[in-house]
Amino acid sequence: MTQATSQPMKIAGMTPRAVVVALVVLAVAAALPLVLTNYQVGLATEMLIFGVLAMSIDILAGFAGRTSLGHGAIFGVSGYVVVYATAQAGLPPLPAFALGVIAATLVAAIFALLAVRTSGVYFLLLTLALGMIVWGICLRWTQVTGGENGMRGDVRPPWLVTHQAFYWAVLAGAAVVSYAMWRFVRSPFGLTLLGIRDSESRMRSLGYNVPLHLFIGFTVSGFFAGIAGALYAMFNNFVSPSTVALAQSVEGVLMMIAGGVGSLFGGFVGAAAIIALENAVSAYTERWQMVLGVTFILIMIFAPEGIIGTLRAVLTRKQR
């Protein structure tokens, strides 16, 4: 047997090459504010936040084989709680942040309880419906959520008020969270999600409680989406029903698909590509959503594996 006899050197579970790549990417990302305008730094911040959201969706879609259309709502709940806790309840930013993530995790757990026994299009529709309920609550519960007007609040701590400082904080947060998600999908538990994706019935007959595994996977994924949502609330100092709307979930899913389903880090690539495109195109035409739609159709036809998946395929072809 070849396995397990000679383990290659690992640093925190990563090969030396992966460590170098990660450090270079981080260094480049950290240097960006030195050359970008404030507006562009804002865009980069947004890309990081949505990258985390797209990755959290990919945990379910790419690994457990279940695409959630409810993650925008989980993301948004976290934002609502953060803004409410600071602006209305007067909590300091960090406890508010923690509360937001906890609330999102709880909402994800409730979604999970209802959705884990389904798969395929039923999972899609059930998560969609659950997301719509959250959206409806945010829209109608006016005394608490501010209804259609949303809520404004100074959510950022004083030391994160500048664009640059906030960007660096988000970058650090995104780096830690990405590492955690990477560890999660590669862990023994992550392998069980892949097993469920490939054959639920085999997993059951091997002794796995499939719904329990999906419940844990969904809740952990919601925890990460909640972190993205709390960061987004701090980024905007504002939440409104559009933060929890279906469009938010769809955007997250599209970013994940554009990056590459199951590629995990593709979430950042997809988020960057779509946010850049949105901004570039909307400068020229009101109909930027149409251009976005066409882009997606082109991706689905010519690069269904997403940007990362296609790059990987091209690279392996070249190596042969």
Partner 1 sequence: MSEPILTLSDVVVAFDALRAVDGVSMTVPRGQRRAIIGPNGAGKTTLFNAIAGMLPPTGGRIAFDGHDVTRLPPHRRAQLGVSRTFQITNLFPRLSVQDNMVLALRGRSPRKFSLFGTPDVDSAEAQQIAGALDAVRIAARADVAVRDLSYGEQRQLEIALSLVTAPRLLLLDEPAAGLSPSERSMVAGIIRSLDRDITVVLIEHDMDLALGLVDLVTCMFEGRVLVEQPPDEIRRNKQVQEVYLGRPRHA
Interface residues toward partner 1, by CB under 8 A:
1-5, 7, 10, 13, 180, 183-184, 186-192, 194-195, 197-199, 201-210, 213, 216, 220
CA–CA separation, 260 and 283 (whole Å): 27
CA–CA separation, 152 and 238 (whole Å): 4
Task: Select 143 or 201, whichever has its Cβ closest to partner 1.
Answer: 201
Q: Cβ 5 to partner 1, closest distance in Å?
A: 8
Q: Cβ 313 to partner 1, closest distance in Å?
A: 15
Task: Select 184 or 268, whichever has its Cβ closest to partner 1.
Answer: 184
User: Nearest to residue 75, comparing CAs of 181, 183, 180, 221?
Assistant: 221
Task: Select 4 or 283, whichever has its Cβ closest to partner 1.
Answer: 4
Task: Select 191 or 298, whichever has its Cβ closest to partner 1.
Answer: 191
Task: Select 118 or 237, whichever has its Cβ closest to partner 1.
Answer: 118
Q: Cβ 98 to partner 1, closest distance in Å?
A: 20
**CA–CA distances in Å: residue 111 to residues 14, 82, 170, 213:** 33, 20, 27, 14
Name the amino acid, one letter, at 205: S
Q: Cβ 184 to partner 1, closest distance in Å?
A: 6
- Please give the helix or strand (H or E) that residue 239 lies within, else none: strand 238-239
CA–CA separation, 75 and 249 (whole Å): 9
Q: Cβ 145 to partner 1, closest distance in Å?
A: 33
**CA–CA distances in Å: residue 15 to residues 3, 208, 309:** 17, 30, 21
